[in-house]
Chains A and B, each alone.
Chain A
């Protein structure tokens, strides 16, 4: 993770000039090249493609009786009609709101931190600090979230502290609310934002920043016009890494959310578990997948449009300077 700039630049040309088989002429391997990826694609086939395929298949089925979970002898789109039930719209809206706000809060907190860690911090401390970012991952996700339950409780220590220092006059009332979920998700997903951002900033050639300063750009202009655009792939990766799992989150919402913080993941789990209706649960899960892809695509499109506008704007600027 803590690849320094020198190493990164030294390594990048590596794979590009790599194919020795072609250069070596006749020494062709008997094993096809894709064989190296066999464990990976087998894994994906068995544990990803097959179950997701099954979920798709079940989503066209129905629940035949109280004690049967799913039947697929008659296939229809009826479950999708049920899943589009107007009653569930508040849950979809809630999920989207928590996810978008959560993702941007992660970016807001993660971006300056990652920049500071990659650019400003003395390299000898960098590994340690990065390790500290990862420390929460050493503890189970569930346990960490239950920890927040205790912190945010009305008689928890945060509530006591805030009352002691007279910030609050009555016990803290945010457990089992949307706000609690919002806090929980930012905490749970922040490292997923910081890591790709750190890598992106870490790979920036410092000489580019120096060049920018040499051209009399302010610090802010250097960040905005040099560092940030070059780190954009990291920003996009971070946004996706946080947004996608957050949309499907189930643990944070069910532990911290109460009635108000219900997200689609909770609804899907409910349909599989208490309702025992795998067909409806599957249809809702497929809708969720579509919803995530749709939202990500929408934001992608907005991003592209903004970028093209900015570029056009900037080109004019450059033209004026020239």
Chain B
């Protein structure tokens, strides 16, 4: 719980953040110093040969990277550019939830063949404990210095020993204003619309904690609770009052559901919602960052234990932390990439719908990070019961 509040504070109040992450800043500074002494030329933006040399101080790049990540999380153009510049081909497979990715890593015991995974921060401690992730050598990621101070050294991975930030964002919803005409601002509005005019036309994220979140966020209660009574009430609500109105459990409505008009109301992660709105032919979708509370998540680049192409994986992570590359990625995936100064850079570049990418400190203050705790199995069970109830 304290961890959770720390995360909020870190992102909420720049002053506090500076205080908290001084240690990280010093660590980062050392890393940078060490890195640049090796690199000589340092890492100046897109300068190919220098960043190429920096990426692999301890080995040749392999010719492939197998990346297991969230859907639509990297711009194909950026991947192509990387391959053109450095050689390794990038194979991508995607997952819908952290649980899905972790179960694959656990099942294969280090033989998954993946070089990159992108877990949400709160899942990292237990992944480390279970030997699923390699310790990262930050000297091999010189562009780590580009990461904003407030995003380094998070409580779930002190000193960035196993992860570096990939992106952070939140959960909100979008609605089709041709069909939902009431004013929409809160999770309670989402629930009311889902039970009435958008009944049978609503999608929610296919992730146990996201469905459960709707209940607790709307009531301004702690969504990481382990209290069995609270979870029972949540289950009762989801199974009996929300499930009958749900059309689909879909983690990426932005990729097809929103532009195809399959739904009128969709719970969505901000970047995916932005992709969906931008690709829609008609201008009929509205985005809501709902009150009173919502989620804050940060996904992180990690190298799993037993990765067959670690050098290429390091090079790829480093490439993504380059300021220009990071801005390109942001323009497409629509998530804050945790790189310092990305917000003014994005505004200057005129990237669309930045209101769905960047959030004000007041908004960030209402976001809570999730938690992996002993109620996890109960939560999955609630989600399964909700899915069964939605069959009707």
Residues of chain A touching chain B, judged by Cβ–Cβ distance below 8 Å, are 63, 66-69, 85, 87-91, 94, 149-150, 153-156, 171, 175-177, 257-262, 267, 270-277
Kindly provide the distance from the CB of B332 to the nearest chain A CB, expressed in whole angstroms. Answer: 22
Kindly provide the distance from the CB of A283 to the nearest chain B CB, expressed in whole angstroms. Answer: 13
Residues of B contacting A150 in the complex (Cβ-Cβ under 8 angstroms): 256, 260
Residues of B contacting A94 in the complex (Cβ-Cβ under 8 angstroms): 391
Is B391 a contact partner of A155 (Cβ separation < 8 A)? no
Is A67 a contact partner of B102 (Cβ separation < 8 A)? yes
Residues of A contacting B387 in the complex (Cβ-Cβ under 8 angstroms): 91, 259, 262, 267, 270
Give the residue name and chain of the A residue nearest to B127 (CB).
A67
Instruction: Give 25 A-B contacts (CB < 8 Å), ordered by A residue.
Output: A66-B126, A66-B376, A87-B239, A88-B384, A88-B388, A90-B389, A91-B387, A154-B262, A171-B261, A175-B260, A176-B247, A176-B262, A257-B248, A258-B247, A259-B249, A259-B390, A260-B247, A267-B384, A267-B387, A267-B388, A272-B103, A275-B99, A275-B380, A276-B102, A277-B380
The size of the chain B interface, using a CB distance under 8 A, is 43
Pick the contact of A69: B103, B260, B383 (CB < 8 A).
B103
Cα of A154 to Cα of B179 in the assembled complex, Å: 14
Residues of A contacting B97 in the complex (Cβ-Cβ under 8 angstroms): 273-274
Pick the contact of B96: A63, A153, A155, A274 (CB < 8 A).
A274
Residues of B contacting A270 in the complex (Cβ-Cβ under 8 angstroms): 384, 387
Residues of A contacting B281 in the complex (Cβ-Cβ under 8 angstroms): 155
Give the residue name and chain of the B residue nearest to A63 (CB).
B377
Interface string of B350-390 (1 = CB under 8 A from A): 00000000000000000000001010110011011101111
Kindly provide the distance from the CB of B250 to the nearest chain A CB, expressed in whole angstroms. Answer: 8
List 13 additional A-B contacts (Cβ < 8 Å) besides A68-B106, A259-B387.
A66-B126, A66-B372, A66-B374, A67-B129, A175-B260, A259-B246, A262-B387, A262-B388, A262-B391, A267-B387, A274-B103, A274-B380, A275-B99
Cα of A261 to Cα of B129 in the assembled complex, Å: 38
Residues of A contacting B126 in the complex (Cβ-Cβ under 8 angstroms): 66-67
Which 3 pairs show the lowest CB-CB distances between chains A and B? A258-B248, A259-B390, A153-B260
Is A276 a contact partner of B248 (Cβ separation < 8 A)? no
Judged by a CB distance under 8 angstroms, whether B100 is at the interface is yes
Residues of chain B touching chain A, judged by Cβ–Cβ distance below 8 Å, are 96-97, 99-100, 102-103, 106-107, 126-127, 129-130, 203, 206-208, 239, 243, 246-250, 256, 260-262, 281, 372, 374, 376-377, 380-381, 383-385, 387-392
Cα of A126 to Cα of B376 in the assembled complex, Å: 58
Cα of A257 to Cα of B250 in the assembled complex, Å: 11
Residues of A contacting B100 in the complex (Cβ-Cβ under 8 angstroms): 273-274
Is A260 a contact partner of B392 (Cβ separation < 8 A)? yes
Kindly provide the distance from the CB of B129 to the nearest chain A CB, expressed in whole angstroms. Answer: 8
Is A155 a contact partner of B260 (Cβ separation < 8 A)? yes
Cα of A149 to Cα of B390 in the assembled complex, Å: 20
Cα of A260 to Cα of B387 in the assembled complex, Å: 9
Give the residue name and chain of the B residue nearest to A175 (CB).
B262
Interface centre among A90, A150, A257 (most CB of B within 10 A): A90
Given A90-B392, A176-B247, A274-B100, also A67-B384 (CB < 8 A) = no
Pick the contact of B256: A66, A90, A149, A277 (CB < 8 A).
A149
Residues of A contacting B247 in the complex (Cβ-Cβ under 8 angstroms): 176-177, 258-260
Kindly provide the distance from the CB of A98 to the nearest chain B CB, expressed in whole angstroms. Answer: 11
Kindly provide the distance from the CB of A270 to the nearest chain B CB, expressed in whole angstroms. Answer: 6
Cα of A275 to Cα of B129 in the assembled complex, Å: 19
Is A276 a contact partner of B383 (Cβ separation < 8 A)? no
Is B246 a contact partner of A275 (Cβ separation < 8 A)? no
Kindly provide the distance from the CB of A261 to the nearest chain B CB, expressed in whole angstroms. Answer: 8
Is B391 a contact partner of A259 (Cβ separation < 8 A)? yes
